[in-house]
Amino acid sequence: MYAVIATGGKQYRVEKDGVLRVEKLDADVGATVSFEQVLMVADGDKITLGKPLVAGAKVSATVEKHGRTDKVVIVKFRRRKHYRRGGTHRQHYTQVRITGIAG
């Protein structure tokens, strides 16, 4: 059984006991979070599509940790114009473990 959820402006395919990194959530480590925006639920050959969401479906997960991804270097450059800008970025994330799919 798997589901497709939407969180943080992205869509993820999740399965029970799967580990997932999503955009930072405002929850403590060990807390239970639920994802209400379920776009699709599949159980074997039975597939339920939402229009746009599946009514009554919910995916629950437990927060494992918070962290930051690897550093990404950002470079803006215009040749022959004496223009060069640089910077870096590290995105925050929350790692969750899927505990159940209801729908």
Alpha-carbon span 28 to 26, nearest angstrom: 7
Alpha helices in the chain (DSSP H): none
> pTM of the full predicted structure?
0.86
Alpha-carbon span 50 to 65, nearest angstrom: 30
* Structure token digits, residue 10: 């992205």
Per-residue pLDDT of the chain (103 residues; tens, 9 = 90+): 999 999 999 999 999 999 999 999 999 999 999 999 999 999 999 999 999 999 999 999 999 999 999 999 999 999 999 999 999 999 999 999 999 999 7
